[in-house]
């Protein structure tokens, strides 16, 4: 369809867009295609619009023509002004150049004037310097002449003057003239120093080969140079200290040290003074304090006589501190006695020390204060020496091992009442053997009632009843015993002994093991008629090493020395104030023993048991020692020694330490025995190969182990402690056997017979628990013991808890069901077995029959005797 837009419309749209940027309003024009035929019309319209613009410009220019002419005339005038300004600027620059030239001429003239003035000043200064140099040269000539004539003090004075004048010379010291003068002054100073050194050597003549020192007042009998003048000259040159220090060292090494140092042959140098010469030649065996302080006084008198005060005072300041230090370290420290034997001689020595200190103070020499301070520290020195000696002695004792074996006796007195079943029994004499108390018999005269205990069930309760510690079910322990136990635990914690985790056995060391009512009744012991109270004295022997006696002797000597220091003879001694501190040594000695004893006893097969015996014996002896010093002849002693001697904590620590050693050994043996029995593997299939061999080896090994321990310990422990120890181990064996058998759900008849045979082999160990005659002062107990010697009854049930249960188990394994029911209903089987325990055994031993079911119902229906 042909376009309806005319070329004029195309041209007008283009022209509007060029002039105003507008777009055509007609949609038809916008959407129409631009035809080439419209170009001429568009060009015509644009050219016409251009002409119209030019006409409009011309009209506008004609109206503003007068203003443009004015602007043009002003621009021309401005150009002329600029050119004039440029001309003036060039003139100013030319004038500035002329001024700089004149200023340069002025500066040049000023520099020439200053140069001339400097030359004049230099010439004047040079003249003055040359005059000063000439004056210095004349002074140097005077110094040289003074050196040649021996006037060294004058030479030193002039040298100081020359050095001051040289410093006043203007100019640097690095100049050639100053350098030449410095070298000449240095040469003259060296000459003076060399001459003064020669004079010093002539006055103080040191002969190291002869260990002698000769002091002369003048140089070659010259009156112009004596020692005083020489010291003055050296002091001015600040060389006196350089000469004094070697002289002090030579005096110390050649005279003082040989006289104070004691040689390996117990000799010292012999001091000799001949006029103005002092020397140490030869050897002297006189090591007395009188000879020492006499020689020291002679040395000081010699120095005060031969040396002027200007030398003596600095010499004393350098020499005396070293002399006093050497005197204290080599003589006075060793003069302090280790004990009280040499105290009188030491007091004489202290008098000499005080006199010597007063002499030094009168001379206004240093040293008295050091001597006084050391005198005040004598108690600490003596205490420290005594402490070192004691600890060294205990260390040497422990390093030698257990030493010799000695047999000691423990004595205990007890009062038995008419209510005491042990006292009333026919076998009372033998029962006393079981009633020994290792823990409560610290004193041979101590009296206390026997302890009772009830048989309980369970491994822990068995051990407690075996050692007499069943406080909750038996008689109550006294408050004092509880306090001691607490103090022992505190002491053990303080020393760090509770870190081995030794188990409950640390609380189960052999204590009182009195038989209780139930045990005596179960053993079938006849009861005697009640009798009145009477006192019975028991004696028992056991073995200890020589170590505790030597330690007790050492502690006894320490306590004795502390008492002697309070007497009138030694109350005024220098070490009297050390008495309270001396009483701390027993604690250190015992701590050293506890710290090192375990390694010393380890070399012996029964070392732990010896350590137990030694510790308790020493604790008991220390209790007796403390009681002896607190109460003597029934009168209380009010003394510092009795007040400060507190051995209770140490006694508790020793008892606890010994019991821990015992507990550790027992725990070790228990572990070994349990390991041996573990080889039986619970006795399952004990009639079949190879299990029967393993069971046989386990039982044989346990039996041999207990018999071996009995043989090993019977020469160490007391009989009661031996039975207690073996009883505890046997209880471990029987308990494990009982538990293993009760754990078997089915036991055939051959297995039952084999298990009974094992029990019988273990039951043969009761021969180890046969009583021995017990020493006693009670006639009735002695008679009873004699009657029992004909047919001794093993005391296994007293020392091995649940021994009767083990024997009943052996009977059950071999007995028919009727006998088992009879023992349960009419006998004392119910004292050892619970209902379910017995039921489990019956069901394991017998087949499921109406007879067994009836027996089980009867057992459950009727409780055993409780």
Residues 6+ apart with CB under 8 A from 676: 698, 701, 702, 705
Predicted confidence (pLDDT) at residue 696 exceeds the cutoff of 90: yes
Using DSSP, state whether 510 is helix, strand or coil.
coil
Q: What are phi and psi of 540, to 5 degrees?
A: -150, 140
Which among 453, 580, 581 has a CA at the least distance from the CA of 512?
Answer: 453
Residue 484 vs residue 192, higher pLDDT: 192
Q: What share of the chain is helix, strand, coil (3-state, %, to 5)?
A: 70, 5, 25
**Cα(279)–Cα(121) distance, rounded to whole angstroms?**
68
| Count of alpha carbons within 13 angstroms of residue 409, beta-carbon side | 9
Long-range contacts of 420-425 (CB under 8 A, 24+ apart): 420/449, 420/450, 421/515, 421/517, 421/520, 421/527, 422/450, 422/514, 422/515, 422/520, 423/531, 423/534, 423/536, 424/527, 424/528, 424/529, 424/530, 424/531, 425/520, 425/525, 425/526, 425/527, 425/528
Question: What are the structure tokens assigned to 147, written together?
Answer: 């050196």
**Cα(527)–Cα(437) distance, rounded to whole angstroms?**
24
pLDDT of res. 417: 59
Distance from chain centroid for Cα 761? 54
**Cα(735)–Cα(731) distance, rounded to whole angstroms?**
6
Using DSSP, state whether 449 is helix, strand or coil.
coil
Using DSSP, state whether 413 is helix, strand or coil.
strand
pLDDT of res. 174: 59
- Domain residue ranges in the chain: 7-63, 69-195, 239-376, 675-861
Q: Would strands 277-284 and 635-636 be described as parallel, antiparallel, or unpaired?
A: unpaired
**Cα(609)–Cα(715) distance, rounded to whole angstroms?**
10
CA-derived radius of gyration, the chain: 60
Length of the chain: 866
- Kindly write down the DSSP assignment for every residue of 317-377, as one continuous string: HHHHHHHHHHHIIIIIHHHS-SSSTTHHHHHHHHHHHHHHHHHHHHTT-TTHHHHHHHHHT
Residues 6+ apart with CB under 8 A from 115: none
pLDDT of res. 66: 64
pLDDT of res. 15: 79
284: left (phi over 0), alpha (psi -120 to 50) or beta: beta
Residue 637 vs residue 789, higher pLDDT: 789
pLDDT in tens, 245-272: 888 999 989 999 888 888 888 888 899 9
Topology given in CATH for the domain delimited by 69-195 = Methane Monooxygenase Hydroxylase; Chain G, domain 1 (1.20.58)
**Cα(555)–Cα(585) distance, rounded to whole angstroms?**
8
Predicted confidence (pLDDT) at residue 585 exceeds the cutoff of 50: yes
| Count of alpha carbons within 13 angstroms of residue 592, beta-carbon side | 23
pLDDT of res. 460: 38
Q: How far, CA to CA in Å, does 784 sit from each of 427, 725, 768, 777, 780?
A: 6, 26, 21, 12, 6
State the DSSP code for 208.
T
Which among 796, 814, 794 has a CA at the least distance from the CA of 804?
Answer: 796
pTM: predicted TM-score of the whole model, two decimal places? 0.62
**Cα(676)–Cα(694) distance, rounded to whole angstroms?**
10
705 — pLDDT class (breaks 50, 70, 90) = very high
**Comparing 304-313, 416-425, 547-556, which segment has the lowest mean pLDDT?**
416-425
pLDDT of res. 438: 36
Question: What are the structure tokens assigned to 387, written together?
Answer: 């402490």
pLDDT of res. 659: 93
pLDDT of res. 666: 95
Q: Would strands 405-416 and 534-545 be described as parallel, antiparallel, or unpaired?
A: antiparallel
- Kindly write down the DSSP assignment for every residue of 262-283, as one continuous string: --TTS-EEEEEEETTEEEEEEE
Question: What are the structure tokens assigned to 4, written together?
Answer: 């309806």
Predicted confidence (pLDDT) at residue 1 exceeds the cutoff of 80: no
**Cα(644)–Cα(636) distance, rounded to whole angstroms?**
14
Which among 6, 29, 28 has a CA at the least distance from the CA of 17?
Answer: 29
Predicted confidence (pLDDT) at residue 207 exceeds the cutoff of 90: no
Question: What are the structure tokens assigned to 845, written together?
Answer: 């031993």
**Cα(616)–Cα(651) distance, rounded to whole angstroms?**
8
Residue 240 vs residue 756, higher pLDDT: 756
Over residues 444-465, the mean pLDDT reads 34
Question: What are the structure tokens assigned to 187, written together?
Answer: 């040469």
Question: What are the structure tokens assigned to 65, written together?
Answer: 């023509």
Residues 6+ apart with CB under 8 A from 156: 192, 233, 236, 237
Which among 836, 811, 839 has a CA at the least distance from the CA of 823?
Answer: 811
| Count of alpha carbons within 13 angstroms of residue 535, beta-carbon side | 8
pLDDT in tens, 496-542: 344 334 444 444 455 433 333 333 333 333 334 444 567 777 788 89
Bridge partners (DSSP) listed for residue 177: none
Q: Name the most confidently modeled range: 3-12, 101-110, 450-459, 766-775.
A: 101-110
Name the one residue in this structure whose structure tokens are 């028992």.
540
Give all strands of the β-sheet with 405-416 in edge-to-edge order. 405-416, 534-545, 775-776
Predicted confidence (pLDDT) at residue 345 exceeds the cutoff of 90: no
810 — pLDDT class (breaks 50, 70, 90) = very high
Topology given in CATH for the domain delimited by 675-861 = Tetracycline Repressor; domain 2 (1.10.357)
**Comparing 132-141, 201-210, 849-858, which segment has the lowest mean pLDDT?**
132-141
pLDDT in tens, 221-248: 544 577 888 888 888 888 888 888 888 9
Over residues 195-207, the mean pLDDT reads 85
Over residues 425-445, the mean pLDDT reads 35
Tell me the average pLDDT of the chain: 77
Q: DSSP strand E in 581-712: where?
A: 631-632, 635-636
Predicted confidence (pLDDT) at residue 394 exceeds the cutoff of 60: yes
pLDDT of res. 660: 93
Question: What are the structure tokens assigned to 69, written together?
Answer: 């002419």
Task: Give yes or no for a contact between 398 and 593, defined as CB atoms under 8 angstroms apart.
Answer: yes
Q: How far, CA to CA in Å, does 671 sit from each of 403, 610, 741?
A: 29, 21, 20
Over residues 369-377, the mean pLDDT reads 88
């Amino acid at each position: 369809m042909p376009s309806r837009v005319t070329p004029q419309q195309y041209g007008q749209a283009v022209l509007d867009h060029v002039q105003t940027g507008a777009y055509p309003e007609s949609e038809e024009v916008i959407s129409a295609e631009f035809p080439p035929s419209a170009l001429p019309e568009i060009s015509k319209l644009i050219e016409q619009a251009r002409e119209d613009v030019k006409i409009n410009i011309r009209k506008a220019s004609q109206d503003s023509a007068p203003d443009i002419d004015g602007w043009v005339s002003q621009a021309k005038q401005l150009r002329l002004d600029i050119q004039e300004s440029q001309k003036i600027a060039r003139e100013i620059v030319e004038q500035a150049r002329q001024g700089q030239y004149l200023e340069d001429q002025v500066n040049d003239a000023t520099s020439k004037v200053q140069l001339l003035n400097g030359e004049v000043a230099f010439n004047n200064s040079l003249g003055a310097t040359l005059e000063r140099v000439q004056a210095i040269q004349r002074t140097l000539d005077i110094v040289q002449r003074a050196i040649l004539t021996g006037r060294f003090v004058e030479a030193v004075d002039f040298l100081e003057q020359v050095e001051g004048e040289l410093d006043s010379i203007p100019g640097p010291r690095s100049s050639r003239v100053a350098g030449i003068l410095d070298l000449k002054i240095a040469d003259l100073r060296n000459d003076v120093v060399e001459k003064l050194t020669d004079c010093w050597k002539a006055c103080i003549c040191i002969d190291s080969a002869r260990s002698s020192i000769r002091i002369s007042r003048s140089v070659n009998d010259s009156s112009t140079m004596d020692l005083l003048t020489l010291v003055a000259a050296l002091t001015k040159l600040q060389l006196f200290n350089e000469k004094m220090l070697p002289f002090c060292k030579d005096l110390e090494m050649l005279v003082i040290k040989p006289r104070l140092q004691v040689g390996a042959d117990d000799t010292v140098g012999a001091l000799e003074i001949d006029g103005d010469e002092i020397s140490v030649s030869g050897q002297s065996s006189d090591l007395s304090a009188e000879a020492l302080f006499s020689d020291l006084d002679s040395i000081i008198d010699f120095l005060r006589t031969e040396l002027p005060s200007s030398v003596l005072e600095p010499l004393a300041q350098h020499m005396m501190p070293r002399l006093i230090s050497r005197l204290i370290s080599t003589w006075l420290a060793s003069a302090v006695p280790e004990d009280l034997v040499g105290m009188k001689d030491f007091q004489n020595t202290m008098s000499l020390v005080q006199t010597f200190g007063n002499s030094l103070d009168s001379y206004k020499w240093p040293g008295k204060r050091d001597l006084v301070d050391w005198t005040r520290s004598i108690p600490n020195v003596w205490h420290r020496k005594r402490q070192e000696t004691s600890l060294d002695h205990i260390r040497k004792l422990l390093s030698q091992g257990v030493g010799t074996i000695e047999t000691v006796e423990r004595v205990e007195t007890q009062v038995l009442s008419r209510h005491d079943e042990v006292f009333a029994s026919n076998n009372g004499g033998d029962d006393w053997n079981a009633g020994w108390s290792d823990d409560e018999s610290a004193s041979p005269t101590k009296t206390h009632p026997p302890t009772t205990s009830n048989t309980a069930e369970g491994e822990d309760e068995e051990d407690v009843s075996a050692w007499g510690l069943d406080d909750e079910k038996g008689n109550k322990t006294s408050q004092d015993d509880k306090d001691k136990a607490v103090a022992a635990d505190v002491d053990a914690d303080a020393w760090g002994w509770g870190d081995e985790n030794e188990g409950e056995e640390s609380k189960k060391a052999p204590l009182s093991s009195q038989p209780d009512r139930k045990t005596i009744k179960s053993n079938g012991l006849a009861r005697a008629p009640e009798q009145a109270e009477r006192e019975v004295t028991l004696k028992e022997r056991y073995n200890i090493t020589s170590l505790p006696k030597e330690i007790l002797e050492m502690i006894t000597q320490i306590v004795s020395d502390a008492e002697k220091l309070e007497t009138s003879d030694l109350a005024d001694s220098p070490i009297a104030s050390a008495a309270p501190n001396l009483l701390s040594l027993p604690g250190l000695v015992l701590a050293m023993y506890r710290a090192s004893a375990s390694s010393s006893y380890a070399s012996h097969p029964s070392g732990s048991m010896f350590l137990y015996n030694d510790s308790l014996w020493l604790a008991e002896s220390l209790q007796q020692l403390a009681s002896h010093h607190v109460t003597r002849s029934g009168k209380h002693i009010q003394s510092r020694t009795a007040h400060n001697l507190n051995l209770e904590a140490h006694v508790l620590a020793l008892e606890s330490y010994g019991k821990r050693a015992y507990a550790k050994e027992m725990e070790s043996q228990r572990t070994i025995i349990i390991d041996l029995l573990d080889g039986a593997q619970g006795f399952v299939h004990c009639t079949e190969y190879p299990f029967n061999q393993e069971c046989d080896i386990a039982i044989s090994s346990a039996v041999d182990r207990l018999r071996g321990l009995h043989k090993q310990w019977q020469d160490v422990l007391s009989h009661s402690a031996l039975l207690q120890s073996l009883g505890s181990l046997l209880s471990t064996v029987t308990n494990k056997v009982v538990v293993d058998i009760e754990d078997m759900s089915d036991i055939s008849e051959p297995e039952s017979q084999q298990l009974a045979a094992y029990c019988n082999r273990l039951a043969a160990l009761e021969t180890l628990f046969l009583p021995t005659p017990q020493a006693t002062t009670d006639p009735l107990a002695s008679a009873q013991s004699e009657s029992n010697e004909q047919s001794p009854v093993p005391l296994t049930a007293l020392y091995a808890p649940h021994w009767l249960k083990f024997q009943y188990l052996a009977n059950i394994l071999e007995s028919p069901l009727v006998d088992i029911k009879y023992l349960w209903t009419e006998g004392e089987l119910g004292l050892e077995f619970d209902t379910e325990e017995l039921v489990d055994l019956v069901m394991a031993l017998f087949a499921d029959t109406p007879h067994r079911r009836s027996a089980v119902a009867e057992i459950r229906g009727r409780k055993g005797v409780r």
